[in-house]
Amino acid sequence: MKLPIFIADAFTATAFRGNPAAVCLLENTLDEDTHQHIAREMNLSETAFIRKLQPTDNFTEKNTNSTLTFVTLSGELKARKAEDGIVLDFPLYPTFPQDLHEVGDLIKAAIGDTLVQDIRYSPHTKNLLVRLSDSYDRSFLETLKVNTEPLPQIEKTGRVKGLILTLKGEPGGQAAPYDFYSRYFAPWVGVAEDPVTGSTHTILGPYWSEELGKKEMRAFQCSRRGGELDISLRADGRVDMKGGAAIVLEGTLTA
């Protein structure tokens, strides 16, 4: 069995940045074991399998109004092509104030004496959002040494599955103006740091929208690879996330 396969870097227009994902095109359904074998072989945090639902579907469709629907572990994810990138359609999730005393040990272990300005919790996604002091800048967040190793032992109730560090942006600052920055860590599920995380912006989007009084924002995730997202909050309670994509590998998988 030979299958077309690609590696695409998402949320970037530049190769070797953003979030790498494998995309495998299928003519027929594969069993779950084969899905898992391919995903392990690609050794990336995301592997997508695209299959034609109708014989007339065209993998090379170039209509910018067409929408692809992906079935993920988190539910359906819809994507459509825009002139300057790919737009993902996500729900929005609220966050609630979190008492420092309940998570102080976890935060201390992760970032030491770094000044914290706000702490929020998302029960829908089980993510803890920690906003760093406005006195810090992007370079501070980028170079901050985050100790994720002890976190699963400190918080082992299952209440927290991910840690978001975020910082107010610097409009007119570095190369491009960003409204906010972030980094994401999920050692509870085996991810020390994720390069770029669309799902965390379902939390960051509404949080920073309220803080900044804006519905349209530009975000940068400050991982080593880095990634850019355009965030647009919609009136129907969902959010559009737009980012670029660069194909860095194209080939055939023999299975």
Collect all residues with Cβ–Cβ distance below 8 Å to 233 and sequence separation of at least 6: 92, 205, 206, 209, 215, 216, 239
With beta carbons less than 8 A apart as the criterion, state whether 180 and 166 touch: yes
**CATH superfamily membership of 96-242:** Diaminopimelate Epimerase; Chain A, domain 1 (3.10.310.10)
pLDDT tens sequence across 143-178 = 999 999 999 999 999 999 999 999 999 866 555 689
- Determine the pLDDT at residue 173: 54
pLDDT tens sequence across 188-211 = 999 999 999 999 999 999 999 999
Q: Over the chain, what is the mean pLDDT? A: 90
The active-site residue out of 27, 32, 41, 46 is 46
Mean pLDDT on 42-52:
84
Burial degree of 139 (CB within 10 A; 0-12, 13-18, 19+): exposed
pLDDT tens sequence across 84-117 = 889 999 999 999 999 999 999 999 999 999 999 9
Burial 72-108 (b: 16+ CB within 10 A, else e): eeeeebebbbeeebbbbbbebbebeebeeeebeebbe
Mean pLDDT on 176-191:
94
Active site residue 46: yes
- Determine the pLDDT at residue 78: 85
pTM of the model: 0.87
CATH of 2-75+244-254, one of 3.10.310.10, 1.10.1240.10, 3.90.740.10, 3.40.190.10: 3.10.310.10
Mean pLDDT on 52-64:
56
Q: What percent of the chain has pLDDT over 90?
A: 69
Mean pLDDT on 53-79:
64
Q: Is the pLDDT of residue 64 over 80?
A: no
Residues of the chain with CATH 3.10.310.10: 2-75+244-254, 96-242
